[in-house]
Structure formats: structure tokens, C-alpha cells
Amino acid sequence: MVPERLSPVLEVTRPLAERFAASGRTVYLVGGTVRDGIAGRPGSVEGNGAVGSSEPDIDITTDARPDEIESLVAGLASSIWTQGKRFGTIGILLGGRRVEITTHRAEAYDPGSRKPEVQFGDDVETDLSRRDFTVNAMALRLPDLVLIDPFDGIGDLAASRLRTPLDPEVSFSDDPLRMLRAARFVSGYALEPDPRITSAVTSMRDRLSIVSPERVREELDKLIVLPEPGAGLWFLVRTGLAGVFLPELPALALEQDPIHRHKDVLAHTIAVVEKTSADKVLRLAALFHDVGKPRTRSVGPSGVHFHHHDVVGARMTRERMKALRYPSAEIDDVGRLVELHLRFHTYKMGWTDSALRRYARDAGALVGKLNELTRCDCTTRNASKAEALGRRIDELEERLAELREKEALDSLRPEVDGVEVMAHLGLPPGREVGEALEFLLQVRLDEGLLGRDEVLSRLDQWWQDRVAGQSC
């Protein structure tokens, strides 16, 4: 019996299935739609969105070749794209949903190449055998709704087990990124990896290096925003796969100090990741926030110290994210959060308005994420310490809200601009104008809004003192 939750997908694809059947071709619904429909999950861990909605793409496989697919969908789809045609995939927009139709295929990596070699086939079971995991190797034949499950994907879903259709070594050799994808399915579906998968990843982990940084980054992003990514992150560390593309993560396991009872920084890091909201930038900041500790670790009479690990960690974060080809804006945001994640602890209860302004100015639009990271960074089992930290962050947020009502905290700048400075002091554009604006910014941060007359009076005094100082 087909689950009722698949009805909308079947309704969208019915015209497609009927047209292919009339031409003597067979189509099968595959991928996350089948898996999630059987598992009873509303969403997918695949991470591919549809046009204009949060629905995942619909994946179809067929014995028709790409040219024939393109011909058959003409007049049926509202739009067609053929960027993946050489790999056997034609994309269409059908009934408001993105549908990808792919010729049955087998693909494998040449041992020294990053690009898949594609071979088309006529048999759906062979196609399914080349897929990553058994839970993804199920197909629903359309339009007669016959389930094809040659590798017992249903049984593995029921048993919470992660297996590959073929030997793991074959599957991971076909596409080494599947080793990283395994971590996502471990977390996303609470699946226990088959011992052969764990063994294969451990022995083949270096093969991930042939995969492009962009594909690795995309897979890491999908893992990191899952509701509970911890199990997947531990899988990456324990198999050694993290060491291939994110060596800063397993390095944290070396920071345990039983003599001074310092917590395992790796366990702490993964706990912080899971506590934060499933926002990519915030989760990445949580993942990287302590990566500077191994390089700054020292032991003194009072215990273990990691002086300036925030600054060192921010630099390491930016370097690693650049290597993984993250967009510049995300590198800047995550690096900034790592750099500022200790800022809160430099202040005590009863922050001055000046301190609040500087905190808001330095965090900018990231202040909400910074506060959440700070809150989640507390993983102590000491309830009183956790409550005390929570009260301090509550006070900070309340004070920021009060100050925001009185002042434009989100756009902190001097009360007069450079044009007014030049007109008032009779200066041309140049270094002196920049110095004047910097002085006025510090006044703004220290004392808040003073009014234009008072600000110009302060500017006059600053200029007089500066001229006097130069004449001495």
C-alpha cells in the first residue's frame, strides 16, 4: 500500500508517467521522496529545495536516454533545463515542482580523477545498486505503483541500520563523497552504520581528497544544520575522515587534561553545536569556536590555559573556510563570531553604556548569533554556574534592548559626517578628516548621543588640542 503522504507527488508525476508509458518507456520515483514517504518523515536530509517552496526535488529514473527524455517532456513541462544532460539528467518544472529525470546509469570515479564517468543502462536494479545506501536504493514504478526494493532498504529503515547496496569499498570508490554523506544519514535518520561501512571509511578516507572542496563543503553544510548533527560529527572523527578535510576538529580531542580536570574540548564543541539553533553560520561558528585551543594550550599553577585562543581560532577558521571554498561573506561572519565568542566574559554584571555600545558595534548584525553562541558555550554540569551565566546574558540582552530604544545601536556612527567636519573646520578631504571622525566615534561610543551642538563643541576642542600639540 502506498503511503498517503506520497499522493501529492504521484498527482504531479502522473501525466509524466502516462506519457512515458505510452512511448514504451518506464519511469520510477526514487531518492528521498520514496525513502521519506516510507519512513514517515515530513522532510528530507537531502537539502535540495524546490522552486518557490520548501518541498524537495522529485527524482525520477527511466530507461529512456537523455534526448528522448527531452523530447517526451516537451509541451508537458513549464520549463526545461539541460545542464546535466551529459550526465543523463534533464530537469523540468512540472506542476510547480522541480523534477529531475535521469537515465538509468552507473557512475564511477577514475582513481585519479574528480569527474564521474557515466554509463547509461536499461535496468533499474543495476541503477539502484550504484546508489549510495540501501535506504536510498528503493524505487516506486509509475504509474502502477510497484515498489522495487532489491537491497532491503525498508528493512534497514525499520532496523535503523545504514548499509550500502554493494560492498562499501565499491560504493565509496564510485563516489568518495559518500563517505562524508554517511555521517549525514547517521545523524539525519539515527541510523547505526554497518561495521563494514565504518571499516571502509577508515581505510579509504584519504580518497576523499579527490573530491572538489565545493562538494565537500556542501555536504558538511547539510550535516551541520541537521537537528542533531552530533552523531555524524563523531562518526567523522572516529573514522579519521574529518582529518582529511577538517583536521582542526579531531585535534580538539588532544586537549583533555585529567590532572586539572579540564573537559575534553572535542566533546564540548560537539555539545555546543547541538545546543545552537540550526542556522548554518551559527553552527559553523560553534564548530570552530575553540579550534585555537590546541595551539594556545599552556599549563600553569592554576591549571590549563588557552590565552588568545579566540584570536588564533578566528584566523584558523578563516583559513579552513577558504580552503573549503566558502563564500567570503560567510567566512567573515563565522570568523567574526569565533573572534568575539569570549567578549561577553570580559565584562561583569552592570555593564556601562559605553561597554554595551562597543559590544553592539563590534558584533554588528551578528549580535543575536553572538549572544546565542555565548549562551550555548556553557556546557557545565554545575547548575548554579549555568544559571548565573544565563542571568548575566539575560541582563545583557535587556540592557541592549533598552539602549537600542534610545539610540541607533544598529548603525553606530558619529553624529556628524565627514562633509560637516570639513565645513566646520575648513578642511579639505584628507587624513585629518578621518582622524576627526574617529575621535567623534569614540565620543559616541563613550557617551552616546550628545546633540549636534555639543558634538561640534567637542570637535572644536579636539582640533585646538591637536593644533597646539603639533606646534610644540
Which stretch of DSSP H or E encloses residue 37?
helix 32-39
**C-alpha–C-alpha distance, residues 206 and 210, integer Å:** 8
Per-residue pLDDT of the chain (472 residues; tens, 9 = 90+): 667 788 889 999 999 999 999 999 999 999 999 999 888 775 555 544 333 345 678 999 999 999 999 999 999 999 999 999 998 999 999 989 999 999 998 655 566 555 656 788 889 999 999 999 999 999 999 999 999 999 999 999 999 999 999 999 999 998 999 999 999 999 999 999 999 999 999 999 999 999 999 999 999 999 999 999 999 999 999 999 999 999 999 999 865 554 444 458 899 999 999 999 999 999 999 999 999 998 888 777 767 777 789 999 999 999 999 999 999 999 999 999 999 999 888 776 567 888 888 888 889 899 999 999 999 998 777 788 888 888 888 888 888 888 887 776 666 788 888 888 898 888 888 888 888 888 888 888 888 888 888 888 888 888 888 877 776 5
Whether the CB-CB separation of 314 and 261 falls below 8 Å is answered with: no
**C-alpha–C-alpha distance, residues 412 and 449, integer Å:** 10
| Residue 220, burial from CB neighbour count under 10 angstroms (0-12, 13-18, 19+) | buried
Predicted confidence (pLDDT) per residue in 404-449, tens digit: 877 766 667 888 888 888 988 888 888 888 888 888 888 888 888 8
Whether the CB-CB separation of 236 and 207 falls below 8 Å is answered with: no
pLDDT for residue 49:
37
By C-alpha distance, which of 376, 379, 336 is closest to 359? Answer: 336
**C-alpha–C-alpha distance, residues 205 and 243, integer Å:** 9
Q: Which residue has the cell 544544520?
A: 225
pLDDT for residue 52:
36
Query: What is the percent of the chain where pLDDT is above 70?
Result: 89
pLDDT for residue 316:
97
Strand partners, 162: 193
Strands 161-162 and 192-193: parallel
Phi, psi of 341 (to 5 degrees): -70, -15
- The amino acid that residue 408 corresponds to is A
Listed by start position, the domains of the chain span: 4-156, 413-471
CA 36-37-40 angle, to 5 degrees, is 75
CATH 3.40.50.970 is right for the domain spanning 4-156: no
**C-alpha–C-alpha distance, residues 244 and 284, integer Å:** 18
**C-alpha–C-alpha distance, residues 157 and 145, integer Å:** 20
By C-alpha distance, which of 454, 416, 453, 451 is closest to 436? Answer: 416
User: b or e along 42-54 (b: 16 or more beta carbons within 10 Å of the residue's beta carbon)?
Assistant: eebbbbeeeeeee
C-alpha cell recorded at residue 456: 561640534
Instruction: Taking the CA atoms of 231, 237, 241 and 246 in sequence, report the sign of the dihedral they define.
Output: positive
Strands (E), 121-229: 139-142, 146-148, 161-162, 192-193
C-alpha cell recorded at residue 48: 535540495
Mean pLDDT over the full length of the chain: 88
